[in-house]
Structure 1
Amino acid sequence: MSVVLTVEPLTAEAFAPFGDVIEASDSTRHFPINGGNTERFHDLMTIATDPQGHAIVSIFRGQPRSLPFALVMLERHPKGSQAFMPLSGRPYLVAVARPGEGVSVADVRVFLARGDQGVNYAPGTWHHPLLALHAVSDFLVIDRAGPGGNCDEIVLAPQGVIPA
């Protein structure tokens, strides 16, 4: 049995319960720097780690997912935030659920992110691993490294289906 999930546009307001949207938008604080040659979009997210961890920067190369897509699991990182910023300029999907011990497919929201929007998952936010679309896509990722396990997984039953 499967539950068909609705895909909605990614906006800062809709995504707020799960973390931050990273984008150069007129709705974010921005101002000119470098003698007016550069526009700085300021303080777009908070990088969170536990006291034993530290922030790291990586590049993830995601293989494209075909739609419809069966959403059978989610993961979370309780010790730190995890930010994804697309480098390839392609849209991608973001499937999330609020932090908590239990999660079901009824808790999942799916967002379509534009190729110029990133996301920063708040610590403990349930999310599906990278959901690149159309072609192999690179993402700049800022997350936590340090001692101790920082990835929990849960199987969704019933599973969700992201339609084509």
Structure 2
Amino acid sequence: MEGQIPPKSIKAAPLTREAFAPYGDVICSLPTPADTANQGTAKRFNHIGRHVRKTAQITNLRNKANPAQPNLCVFRCAPTPVLPFPMKLLERHKFSSQFFVPMTPNQDGARGYLVIVCLNDPVRDKPDYRTLKAFVASTTEGINYSAGCWHHPMIALERVTDFCVLVYERRELREAPDEDCEEEFLAEECIIEVDGFRGASEL
């Protein structure tokens, strides 16, 4: 039973590259040396995340002549009305990484967003709730979920927030409903405590 039942509650921690590394990448400028770009007016930080499509793992699809395409899109996320946040489900993209970069500036009131992640249990091929974590990211940080990483759909905090998103999908060409996105519903809610923010209905 260990790892099969989610905890009753967890507390969200500040996002750091080190803490998030098992689940994916934090997209931000780095303190490491950077390349010079734009005739010396900019610094370029290379290879801060990996965007992948795991085609080698897709063995049960018939229509391989129509591979997944990168989908660059925008998500406009409404803020959660209540905090602490009642988590009811997780999802994963089995074959693709997925990155989110916030585009709503602080002057519009958007200070951060909530990221909930969980590794996969390879034996059950389900979330391993022993690895369930929650992070608060600022609107100057993007995140990149590794392919197959379980996560909650994006949760904006306090303000409507736009995100630039990149993911590989087959969408209309998919052969199974969960080919692009698989969902796992929790038997009981897990409460995510978030310090320093209020639900949108409380503002």
TM-score (structure 1 length as normaliser): 0.91
Give the distance between the partners of 2:102 and 2:30, measured in 1 at CA. Answer: 16
- Whether 2:49 is the aligned partner of 1:45: answer yes
Q: Report how many aligned residue pairs link the two structures.
A: 163
C-alpha deviation, 1:159, in angstroms: 2.1
**Which amino acid in the other structure matches residue 45 of structure 1?**
G
The structure with more strand, counted as a fraction of residues: 1
Which residues of structure 2 form unaligned runs of 5+?
Answer: 1-5, 56-66, 106-110, 195-203
Match of 1:155 in 2: 185
Match of 1:134 in 2: 158
* Deviation >4 Å, runs of 4+: none
| Contact 1:10-1:112 at 8 Å conserved across structures | yes
Greater gyration radius: 2
Match of 1:87 in 2: 103
The structure with more helix, counted as a fraction of residues: 2
Q: Return the match for 2:17 from 6, 12, 26.
A: 12
C-alpha deviation, 1:62, in angstroms: 0.2
TM-score (structure 2 length as normaliser): 0.74
Give the distance between the partners of 1:71 and 1:115, measured in 2 at CA. Answer: 22
| Contact 2:94-2:147 at 8 Å conserved across structures | yes
Match of 2:26 in 1: 21
Which deviates more, 4-13 or 49-58? 49-58
Q: 1:38 to 1:84 in 2, by over 3 A?
A: same
Which residues of structure 1 form unaligned runs of 5+?
Answer: none
Match of 2:76 in 1: 61
Which deviates more, 16-25 or 104-113? 104-113
Match of 2:144 in 1: 120
Alignment identity in percent? Answer: 34
